[in-house]
Structure 1
Amino acid sequence: MKRRDFLTGAAATGAVAAAATASSFPTPAIAQDVRELKMVTTWPKNFPGLGTSAERVAQRITKMTNGRLTVKVFAAGELVPAFEAFDAVSSGTAEMYHGAEYYWQGKSKAFNFFAAVPFGLTSTEMSAWIHHAGGQQLWDELSAGFKIKPFLVSNTGVQMGGWFNKEINSLEDYKGLKIRMPGLGGEVLRRMGAAAVSLPGGEIFPALQSGAIDATEWVGPWNDLAFGFYKVAKYYYYPGFHEPGTSLSCGVNMDLWNSLSDEDKAIVEAACTAENDYGLAEFNAHNGDALKTLIDDHGVQLRKFSNDIMAEIGKISGEVVREVGTENAATGKILENFIAFRDKAVGWGKIADQAYLNARTLPFKY
């Protein structure tokens, strides 16, 4: 055999052997540890502060795991409708969701406590309850029944009272009012005679424009300006009794969560915790400028609910929130823990944040 033929034959034999060896491993082998995860959201695509929060979490997880977990975000309606995000993650159709827990109250009314309840906790109080007063453990127990591991992932801060086509001067003005308000806040207004409905964000403007609803709450000036509510409603009310510090959440399919390494679990948790702080800061940074734009450039009329109205709403809110605890023993346990923490937070808040904020409004030069 000529040397050239031998080398050619040897090379061919080696290639066949290499191919055979390679075929005994998964293809491509380097991709064994790479997982592509779907995150479904309840928000319009890249919507300021809400949709963009989901994108940031996805990017953080992808970068921090060096691509081992590659998260792709699907806005409301792209993979599943907004209010089906929870079911998609519970069933494994998607691996993660980014949303607000009160959207799942059809599963259990207890989910409201982990987003917002009327006259409930502020953003900082919510984080304190979840991380240091038993809230996370209770949330884990509740969500585990649906094969989901939940995390705080952002907060809107105190929300506005909403957009109205007429002034709200008395409790009578709520009777027959068609208003978009989800969660337990909607139940409070129903007991006041309003017709409260829950709509995904993307459906609110056309409903208000067509007259299907007379009023709506959404989030706050920054988000409300983005949706253009000033084009179809005249009066902008505050404060938002229904959502005093609304937590957004990231839910992870439990099978996926249990399959992750301790390192990747820590990364997912860290990414959510970082966004919880960053998201709240973003809302607080933009709301003031957006409110000025609404008033100065678009002629929006800012109105404050009277103390009489707020006191009655507060009374009904307490009744509604406490009734949630009668749903079952598990919900009662969550309610008891929540109320106990709220009582302590209110007491401390009077001599801390509330006292300082009151003092800051005094007429002195600064």
Structure 2
Amino acid sequence: MKIWLKSLITLMAIGAIAACGGEKSSSGEIAEQKQYKWKLVTSWPKNFPGLGTAPENFAKLVNDMSNGRLSIKVYGAGEIVPGFEVFDAVSQGTAQMGHAGAYYWKGKMPASPIFTALPFGLNAQETNGWLHYGGGIELWRELYKPFGVIPFAGGNTGVQSAGWFKKEIKTVDDLKGLKIRIPGLGGEVMKKLGAVPVALTGGELFTSLQSGAIDATEWVGPYNDLAFGFYKVTDHYYASGWHEPGAMLEFTVNEKAFNELPKDLQTIIEVATRAVNQDMLDEYTARNQTALETLKNKHGIEAKTLPPEVMKALKQASEEVIAEQIAADPTFAKIMKSYSAFQQKVAAYHKISEVEYYNNREL
């Protein structure tokens, strides 16, 4: 039985005891319940749709499930630390928790992008399967262990968009010299094809496009892209995010703070992260198409796909980048061995199930 299912059963048992009116412990005394107040820092604008509301939903769920014993206050990017410093803040104890994307820590841990998304890799459903039933979460926690940080799956946006571009992309040559905001290994792939990847947080994207500091950006998908108003400063929108087929976000917890919690509150965190992880994917699944219709009908934006020639070049470059990372970093190689084996197996099944079903649905 998996950890989160055990946790749910434990939590139900705790709730049943509480419902009985707080029966006495074996010592005959009613234990005084200590209250904990935590800070949760994020890489997103506060209350931003999906990304920003997920940690807020998590905090409320934890508060409700713990009957107020664990209170978590959420801070947006820049309120305590910048968006790219969330991991360090959690590691150092500035905040007990964080919500961000693992690929932001590539400079610290070259293997970390695997736990967000790999170009042409696992989608959201497959990533959840690998993490929770294929050994992925254990490898993730092993990677973060030296920093005193415990990662949990923190939501998934599903297949992202390829991005917003000021000029049309017709051939691979159109990528040369292109200044594009794209993190993780997707940025390394673009660099290999002559583009210039730029690291920017979400809050910097619109003004950077507007000023000409960048020529293009990927962000998330229609739901979030509409909210940022990229349609006001770019003309070309490409769907099918080859670089992030299932962008997994993360909740990070300071290990020392987590270990100081009683078992029932640790269980609540386990269960609440699993709930919010699925809830975010549900939200993006429901909202993206509505937002895409608004982009088309109200703002005249047509979602296009990159030409096959460009997509083939991106796939080849992706394979080269991943091979280079495997050769350069034993930890990356170890994690990729697990990831690739899972992808190979699940892809074989999905070819005769998911893919076949989608094809049949179009008949």
What is the TM-score normalised by the length of structure 2? Answer: 0.90
Q: Quick one: structure 1 residues 31 and 37, their matched pair in 2 at CA, closer, same or farther if it must change by over 3 Å?
A: farther
Q: What displacement does 1:31 show?
A: 8.7
Residue equivalent to 1:194: 195
What are the superposed Cα offsets for residues 119-153 of structure 1, whole Å, 9 maximum, x if unpaired? 11100000000001110110010011111111002
Residue equivalent to 1:325: 326
Q: What displacement does 1:218 show?
A: 0.4
Q: What displacement does 1:359 show?
A: 1.6
Residue equivalent to 1:309: 310
Q: Indicate whether 1:105 and 2:106 are aligned.
A: yes
Residues in 1 aligned to 2:209 and 2:109: alpha-carbon distance in whole angstroms: 29
Residues in 1 aligned to 2:347 and 2:308: alpha-carbon distance in whole angstroms: 18
Residue equivalent to 1:234: 235
Residue equivalent to 1:275: 276
Residue equivalent to 1:298: 299
Residues in 2 aligned to 1:256 and 1:148: alpha-carbon distance in whole angstroms: 10
Residue equivalent to 2:12: none
Structure 1 residue runs without a partner (length 5+): 1-29
What are the superposed Cα offsets for residues 49-74 of structure 1, whole Å, 9 maximum, x if unpaired? 00000100111111111111100000
CA RMSD of aligned residues (A): 1.2
Q: What displacement does 1:212 show?
A: 0.4
What are the superposed Cα offsets for residues 192-245 of structure 1, whole Å, 9 maximum, x if unpaired? 000111210000000000000011000000100000000000110021111000
What are the superposed Cα offsets for residues 277-310 of structure 1, whole Å, 9 maximum, x if unpaired? 1110000101001001101110113211122211
Structure 2 residue runs without a partner (length 5+): 1-30
- SS of the aligned residue for 1:326 comes to helix
Residues in 2 aligned to 1:272 and 1:137: alpha-carbon distance in whole angstroms: 16
Residue equivalent to 1:246: 247
Q: Quick one: structure 1 residues 323 and 286, their matched pair in 2 at CA, closer, same or farther if it must change by over 3 Å?
A: same
Moved over 3 A (4+): none
1:243 counterpart letter in structure 2: E
2:331 counterpart letter in structure 1: A
Residues in 2 aligned to 1:185 and 1:344: alpha-carbon distance in whole angstroms: 24
Residues in 1 aligned to 2:156 and 2:115: alpha-carbon distance in whole angstroms: 11
Of structures 1 and 2, the larger Rg is shown by: 1
Q: Indicate whether 1:348 and 2:349 are aligned.
A: yes
Residue equivalent to 2:79: 78
Q: Indicate whether 1:53 and 2:54 are aligned.
A: yes
Residue equivalent to 2:10: none
Residues in 1 aligned to 2:115 and 2:324: alpha-carbon distance in whole angstroms: 16
Given that residues 116 and 245 in structure 1 are in contact (C-alpha distance below 8 angstroms), is that contact kept between their aligned partners in structure 2? yes
2:161 counterpart letter in structure 1: M
Matched length: 333
Given that residues 33 and 69 in structure 2 are in contact (C-alpha distance below 8 angstroms), is that contact kept between their aligned partners in structure 1? no
Given that residues 182 and 199 in structure 2 are in contact (C-alpha distance below 8 angstroms), is that contact kept between their aligned partners in structure 1? yes
Q: Quick one: structure 1 residues 226 and 31, their matched pair in 2 at CA, closer, same or farther if it must change by over 3 Å?
A: farther
What is the TM-score normalised by the length of structure 1? Answer: 0.89
Given that residues 325 and 334 in structure 1 are in contact (C-alpha distance below 8 angstroms), is that contact kept between their aligned partners in structure 2? no
Residues in 1 aligned to 2:68 and 2:324: alpha-carbon distance in whole angstroms: 46
Residues in 2 aligned to 1:324 and 1:64: alpha-carbon distance in whole angstroms: 42
Residue equivalent to 1:7: none
Residue equivalent to 1:358: 359
Percent identity over paired residues: 49
- SS of the aligned residue for 2:327 comes to coil
Residue equivalent to 1:24: none
Given that residues 119 and 243 in structure 1 are in contact (C-alpha distance below 8 angstroms), is that contact kept between their aligned partners in structure 2? yes
Residue equivalent to 2:158: 157
Residue equivalent to 2:148: 147
